[in-house]
Amino acid sequence: MKHTLAVIAALLFTPPAAAQETIALAIEGWQQESRSDGIVYYRCASDICAAGSVVSYKEQPHRTTITLKDFENHHRGLAEHNKGSGHVRDARITAPAERTVDGVHVFQVNREVDWDDGTTTFTIEARLIGSDRSFSLVSDSPKREWTANNFEGFLRSLVVVASLKRP
């Protein structure tokens, strides 16, 4: 509930020009960083999330014709392209899923990346498609359960924003 109230307050009390450029969620326990490319990053800064966790989102072109298969194929292509490049040893896409949360369509896939230093990163990549706007949402951490918990926490807040009509 705190997350939803913070989002609504930010939208109501932010001047229109600023609200259209960047929507900042106020999420307790996370440090926020907005970049010039429109991606908003949150890094875990407390005991309520898990060390090494990062969640990010970005407004995307609003396309309501995307299918789960399109979304899954896009992410499988990215994983294949990055296998064996840089420090990536392997990348896998699993568990494609589709659901509707409070009227917002959500596509998601899980990605596991094995790095050449022996570590693995667990990621959930999602596209939220509301009636008038769309967002990507990405949750990363060194543990699968942390990634899922962080994702669900941010998803609730971003669904509120994705369901709003543009002014």
Total residues found in the chain within this entry: 167
pLDDT of residue 18: 38
Q: Which helix (H) or strand (E) holds 101?
A: strand 88-101
Q: Average pLDDT of 114-130?
A: 95
Q: Is pLDDT above 60 for 163? A: yes
Position 29 confidence tier, pLDDT thresholds 50, 70, 90: confident
Q: Is pLDDT above 70 for 143? A: yes
Half-sphere CA count of 20, side-chain side, radius 13 A? 4
In 10 A of CB 110, how many CB atoms? 20
pTM of the full structure: 0.82
- Rounded CA-CA distance 157/164 in Å is 12
Q: Average pLDDT of 16-32?
A: 64
Domains of the chain (ranges; CATH) run 2-162 (3.40.1000.10)
